[in-house]
Amino acid sequence: METRSSELTTAAEQSPFLSVVIPAYNERDNIQAGALSTVADYLSAQPYAYEVVVVDDGSEDDTAALAEAFAKTHDCFRVVREPHRGKAHTVIAGMLAARGAIVLFSDMDQATPITEIAQVLPWFERGFDVVIGSRGAERRNAPLWRKFMSRSQIVLRNLILGFQGITDTQCGFKAFRREAVRAIVPRLSLYGGALDGPVKGAAVTSGFDVEMLFVARKLGFQIKEVPVEWDYRHSRRVNLLKDSLRGVRDLVRIRLADWRGAYGRAHPQSK
Protein backbone atom coordinates (compact mmCIF):
# COMPACT_ATOMS: atom_id res chain seq x y z
CA MET A 1 0.00 0.00 0.00
CA GLU A 2 2.86 2.39 0.75
CA THR A 3 4.33 1.80 -2.71
CA ARG A 4 0.99 2.43 -4.37
CA SER A 5 0.53 5.65 -2.37
CA SER A 6 3.99 6.83 -3.42
CA GLU A 7 3.20 6.09 -7.07
CA LEU A 8 0.02 8.12 -6.87
CA THR A 9 1.86 11.05 -5.31
CA THR A 10 4.50 10.96 -8.02
CA ALA A 11 1.84 10.84 -10.74
CA ALA A 12 0.07 13.84 -9.21
CA GLU A 13 3.34 15.79 -9.14
CA GLN A 14 3.99 14.95 -12.78
CA SER A 15 0.50 15.83 -13.91
CA PRO A 16 -0.93 18.72 -11.89
CA PHE A 17 -4.51 19.76 -12.35
CA LEU A 18 -3.62 23.38 -13.11
CA SER A 19 -0.66 24.98 -14.85
CA VAL A 20 -0.28 28.74 -14.61
CA VAL A 21 1.95 30.22 -17.31
CA ILE A 22 3.40 33.66 -16.62
CA PRO A 23 5.34 35.35 -19.43
CA ALA A 24 8.05 37.71 -18.22
CA TYR A 25 10.02 40.41 -20.00
CA ASN A 26 12.00 42.82 -17.81
CA GLU A 27 9.72 42.15 -14.83
CA ARG A 28 12.20 42.82 -12.04
CA ASP A 29 9.99 45.46 -10.42
CA ASN A 30 6.90 43.24 -10.28
CA ILE A 31 8.86 40.29 -8.92
CA GLN A 32 10.53 42.41 -6.26
CA ALA A 33 7.10 43.85 -5.39
CA GLY A 34 5.91 40.33 -4.55
CA ALA A 35 3.96 39.24 -7.65
CA LEU A 36 5.21 35.64 -7.50
CA SER A 37 4.66 35.46 -3.76
CA THR A 38 1.05 36.54 -4.25
CA VAL A 39 0.52 33.76 -6.78
CA ALA A 40 2.20 31.20 -4.55
CA ASP A 41 0.23 32.18 -1.46
CA TYR A 42 -3.10 31.78 -3.25
CA LEU A 43 -2.37 28.56 -5.09
CA SER A 44 -0.82 26.83 -2.08
CA ALA A 45 -4.15 27.21 -0.27
CA GLN A 46 -6.13 25.46 -3.03
CA PRO A 47 -7.17 21.79 -2.88
CA TYR A 48 -5.76 20.88 -6.32
CA ALA A 49 -2.23 20.16 -7.52
CA TYR A 50 -0.68 22.98 -9.51
CA GLU A 51 2.48 24.26 -11.13
CA VAL A 52 3.60 27.75 -12.14
CA VAL A 53 5.74 28.11 -15.25
CA VAL A 54 7.50 31.48 -15.51
CA VAL A 55 8.75 31.97 -19.07
CA ASP A 56 11.47 34.56 -19.44
CA ASP A 57 11.37 36.29 -22.82
CA GLY A 58 15.08 37.04 -23.05
CA SER A 59 14.86 39.79 -20.44
CA GLU A 60 17.56 42.44 -20.40
CA ASP A 61 17.42 42.74 -16.59
CA ASP A 62 17.71 40.07 -13.88
CA THR A 63 14.13 38.81 -14.25
CA ALA A 64 15.18 35.23 -14.99
CA ALA A 65 17.64 35.08 -12.09
CA LEU A 66 15.08 36.48 -9.65
CA ALA A 67 12.43 34.01 -10.83
CA GLU A 68 14.86 31.11 -10.56
CA ALA A 69 15.82 32.15 -7.04
CA PHE A 70 12.13 32.18 -6.11
CA ALA A 71 11.59 28.76 -7.71
CA LYS A 72 14.38 27.24 -5.61
CA THR A 73 12.29 27.84 -2.49
CA HIS A 74 8.92 26.97 -4.07
CA ASP A 75 8.72 23.42 -5.42
CA CYS A 76 5.74 24.04 -7.69
CA PHE A 77 7.47 26.86 -9.58
CA ARG A 78 9.84 26.47 -12.49
CA VAL A 79 11.45 28.85 -14.97
CA VAL A 80 11.83 28.41 -18.71
CA ARG A 81 14.31 30.69 -20.44
CA GLU A 82 13.48 31.66 -24.03
CA PRO A 83 15.20 33.96 -26.54
CA HIS A 84 13.49 37.32 -26.97
CA ARG A 85 10.64 36.66 -29.41
CA GLY A 86 7.74 38.65 -27.99
CA LYS A 87 4.86 37.81 -25.69
CA ALA A 88 2.99 35.50 -28.08
CA HIS A 89 5.85 33.08 -28.59
CA THR A 90 6.74 33.27 -24.90
CA VAL A 91 3.20 32.29 -23.88
CA ILE A 92 3.15 29.47 -26.45
CA ALA A 93 6.44 28.10 -25.13
CA GLY A 94 4.98 28.04 -21.63
CA MET A 95 1.71 26.47 -22.69
CA LEU A 96 3.51 23.68 -24.52
CA ALA A 97 5.78 23.11 -21.53
CA ALA A 98 2.82 22.98 -19.13
CA ARG A 99 1.81 19.61 -17.69
CA GLY A 100 -1.56 20.50 -16.20
CA ALA A 101 -4.95 19.31 -17.38
CA ILE A 102 -5.96 22.99 -17.42
CA VAL A 103 -3.46 25.58 -18.68
CA LEU A 104 -3.97 29.23 -17.78
CA PHE A 105 -1.81 32.17 -18.74
CA SER A 106 -1.71 35.28 -16.60
CA ASP A 107 0.31 38.51 -16.66
CA MET A 108 3.06 39.12 -14.15
CA ASP A 109 1.61 42.49 -13.10
CA GLN A 110 -1.54 40.71 -11.87
CA ALA A 111 -3.87 43.34 -13.36
CA THR A 112 -6.29 40.43 -13.17
CA PRO A 113 -5.43 38.88 -9.79
CA ILE A 114 -4.71 35.18 -9.55
CA THR A 115 -7.74 34.81 -7.26
CA GLU A 116 -9.96 35.15 -10.36
CA ILE A 117 -9.11 31.55 -11.18
CA ALA A 118 -12.09 30.76 -8.97
CA GLN A 119 -14.33 32.39 -11.59
CA VAL A 120 -12.79 30.39 -14.43
CA LEU A 121 -12.36 26.78 -13.31
CA PRO A 122 -16.04 25.86 -12.67
CA TRP A 123 -16.85 26.34 -16.35
CA PHE A 124 -14.61 23.47 -17.37
CA GLU A 125 -16.81 21.19 -15.27
CA ARG A 126 -19.74 22.40 -17.39
CA GLY A 127 -18.12 21.20 -20.60
CA PHE A 128 -16.28 24.26 -21.90
CA ASP A 129 -12.84 23.84 -23.46
CA VAL A 130 -11.62 27.44 -23.36
CA VAL A 131 -12.55 29.93 -20.63
CA ILE A 132 -11.40 33.52 -21.02
CA GLY A 133 -11.46 36.38 -18.56
CA SER A 134 -13.35 39.46 -19.69
CA ARG A 135 -13.09 43.11 -18.70
CA GLY A 136 -16.26 43.84 -20.65
CA ALA A 137 -16.41 46.87 -22.91
CA GLU A 138 -15.12 49.13 -20.14
CA ARG A 139 -11.57 49.35 -18.85
CA ARG A 140 -11.62 50.35 -15.18
CA ASN A 141 -9.20 53.18 -14.39
CA ALA A 142 -7.75 53.04 -17.91
CA PRO A 143 -7.02 56.34 -19.68
CA LEU A 144 -9.31 57.50 -22.47
CA TRP A 145 -6.85 56.54 -25.18
CA ARG A 146 -6.76 52.95 -23.89
CA LYS A 147 -10.55 52.75 -23.83
CA PHE A 148 -10.75 54.16 -27.36
CA MET A 149 -8.16 51.64 -28.54
CA SER A 150 -10.10 48.75 -27.02
CA ARG A 151 -13.48 49.78 -28.43
CA SER A 152 -12.00 50.32 -31.89
CA GLN A 153 -10.46 46.85 -31.83
CA ILE A 154 -13.81 45.30 -30.91
CA VAL A 155 -15.55 46.98 -33.85
CA LEU A 156 -12.82 46.10 -36.36
CA ARG A 157 -12.53 42.53 -35.07
CA ASN A 158 -16.24 41.96 -35.57
CA LEU A 159 -16.20 43.52 -39.04
CA ILE A 160 -13.12 41.69 -40.31
CA LEU A 161 -13.47 38.31 -38.60
CA GLY A 162 -17.15 38.11 -37.69
CA PHE A 163 -16.19 37.64 -34.06
CA GLN A 164 -19.56 38.41 -32.51
CA GLY A 165 -20.25 36.77 -29.18
CA ILE A 166 -16.94 37.60 -27.54
CA THR A 167 -16.46 41.08 -26.13
CA ASP A 168 -12.91 40.95 -24.84
CA THR A 169 -10.31 38.89 -26.66
CA GLN A 170 -7.32 40.70 -25.16
CA CYS A 171 -7.58 40.13 -21.42
CA GLY A 172 -4.38 38.42 -20.31
CA PHE A 173 -6.21 35.76 -18.34
CA LYS A 174 -7.18 32.74 -20.45
CA ALA A 175 -7.47 29.04 -19.65
CA PHE A 176 -7.52 26.02 -21.96
CA ARG A 177 -7.86 22.31 -21.61
CA ARG A 178 -4.47 20.80 -22.40
CA GLU A 179 -5.87 18.90 -25.37
CA ALA A 180 -7.18 22.19 -26.78
CA VAL A 181 -3.70 23.71 -26.51
CA ARG A 182 -2.20 20.76 -28.36
CA ALA A 183 -4.78 21.08 -31.14
CA ILE A 184 -4.73 24.88 -31.52
CA VAL A 185 -1.03 25.76 -31.42
CA PRO A 186 0.07 23.72 -34.48
CA ARG A 187 -2.63 25.44 -36.55
CA LEU A 188 -1.59 29.00 -35.74
CA SER A 189 -0.52 30.79 -38.89
CA LEU A 190 0.68 34.16 -37.58
CA TYR A 191 2.18 33.12 -34.26
CA GLY A 192 2.71 29.40 -34.50
CA GLY A 193 6.13 29.43 -36.15
CA ALA A 194 9.04 31.73 -36.81
CA LEU A 195 8.75 35.48 -36.50
CA ASP A 196 8.67 37.76 -39.53
CA GLY A 197 11.89 39.36 -38.30
CA PRO A 198 14.00 39.98 -35.22
CA VAL A 199 12.30 41.46 -32.16
CA LYS A 200 13.70 44.49 -30.38
CA GLY A 201 12.23 45.79 -27.14
CA ALA A 202 8.80 44.87 -25.82
CA ALA A 203 6.44 43.11 -28.25
CA VAL A 204 2.89 42.59 -27.00
CA THR A 205 1.67 40.86 -30.20
CA SER A 206 -2.02 41.39 -29.47
CA GLY A 207 -3.11 39.44 -32.56
CA PHE A 208 -1.99 36.25 -30.84
CA ASP A 209 -5.04 36.19 -28.53
CA VAL A 210 -7.39 36.70 -31.47
CA GLU A 211 -5.77 34.00 -33.56
CA MET A 212 -5.88 31.50 -30.70
CA LEU A 213 -9.60 32.08 -30.21
CA PHE A 214 -10.28 32.14 -33.96
CA VAL A 215 -8.64 28.73 -34.37
CA ALA A 216 -10.40 27.40 -31.27
CA ARG A 217 -13.73 28.29 -32.85
CA LYS A 218 -12.75 26.75 -36.18
CA LEU A 219 -11.94 23.50 -34.39
CA GLY A 220 -15.24 23.47 -32.55
CA PHE A 221 -13.97 24.04 -29.04
CA GLN A 222 -16.54 25.57 -26.74
CA ILE A 223 -15.52 29.00 -25.47
CA LYS A 224 -16.88 30.75 -22.39
CA GLU A 225 -16.24 34.40 -21.55
CA VAL A 226 -16.53 35.23 -17.86
CA PRO A 227 -16.25 38.60 -16.08
CA VAL A 228 -13.08 39.03 -14.03
CA GLU A 229 -11.65 41.75 -11.87
CA TRP A 230 -9.15 43.93 -13.72
CA ASP A 231 -7.38 47.14 -12.92
CA TYR A 232 -5.38 49.23 -15.35
CA ARG A 233 -1.61 48.98 -15.04
CA HIS A 234 0.47 51.59 -16.79
CA SER A 235 2.97 49.95 -19.11
CA ARG A 236 5.56 51.29 -21.50
CA ARG A 237 4.93 48.14 -23.54
CA VAL A 238 1.69 49.53 -25.00
CA ASN A 239 2.03 52.12 -27.74
CA LEU A 240 -1.24 53.61 -29.04
CA LEU A 241 -0.26 54.08 -32.69
CA LYS A 242 2.14 51.17 -33.12
CA ASP A 243 -0.01 48.58 -31.37
CA SER A 244 -3.26 49.77 -32.97
CA LEU A 245 -1.78 49.47 -36.46
CA ARG A 246 -0.28 46.09 -35.67
CA GLY A 247 -3.60 44.91 -34.27
CA VAL A 248 -5.47 45.87 -37.47
CA ARG A 249 -2.76 44.29 -39.59
CA ASP A 250 -3.06 41.04 -37.65
CA LEU A 251 -6.84 40.96 -38.08
CA VAL A 252 -6.41 41.27 -41.85
CA ARG A 253 -3.67 38.64 -41.86
CA ILE A 254 -5.89 36.21 -39.94
CA ARG A 255 -8.72 36.74 -42.41
CA LEU A 256 -6.40 36.23 -45.40
CA ALA A 257 -4.92 33.11 -43.83
CA ASP A 258 -8.43 31.75 -43.30
CA TRP A 259 -9.34 32.42 -46.93
CA ARG A 260 -6.22 30.50 -47.97
CA GLY A 261 -7.43 27.56 -45.88
CA ALA A 262 -4.60 27.81 -43.35
CA TYR A 263 -6.93 26.95 -40.46
CA GLY A 264 -8.92 24.21 -42.18
CA ARG A 265 -12.68 23.97 -42.33
CA ALA A 266 -14.90 25.18 -39.53
CA HIS A 267 -16.15 22.46 -37.22
CA PRO A 268 -19.94 22.05 -37.54
CA GLN A 269 -20.38 22.61 -33.79
CA SER A 270 -18.14 25.70 -33.59
CA LYS A 271 -19.79 28.89 -32.42
Number of domains comprising the chain = 1
User: What pLDDT sits at residue 187?
Assistant: 94
Give the number of residues written for the chain: 271
Looking from the CA of 90 toward its CB, the CA atoms found within 13 Å total 31
Contact 253, 207 (CB under 8 A): yes
Q: Which residues touch 9 (CB under 8 Å, ≥6 apart)? A: none
Structural domain includes residue 265: no
In a domain, 10, yes or no: no
In a domain, 176, yes or no: yes
Instruction: Give 10-residue mean pLDDT values along the chain (271 residues).
Output: 37 78 97 97 97 97 98 97 92 97 96 96 98 74 59 77 83 96 94 60 73 95 94 56 76 93 69 45
pTM here is 0.84
pLDDT of residue 79: 98
Give the domain range for residue 242. Answer: 15-259
User: According to the model, what pLDDT value does residue 271 have?
Assistant: 45
The terminus-to-terminus CA distance of the chain in angstroms comes to 48
Q: Is residue 8 part of a domain?
A: no
Does residue 267 lie within any of the structural domains? no
Residue 230 lies in a domain: yes
Beta bridge partners of 224: 131
Is 222 contained in some domain?
A: yes
Specify if 85 maps to a domain: yes
CATH assignment at residue 48: 3.90.550.10
C-beta separation of 49 from 16 below 8 A? yes
pLDDT at 32: 97
According to the model, what pLDDT value does residue 267 have?
63
Q: What angle do CA 92, 233, 96 make, to 5 degrees?
A: 10
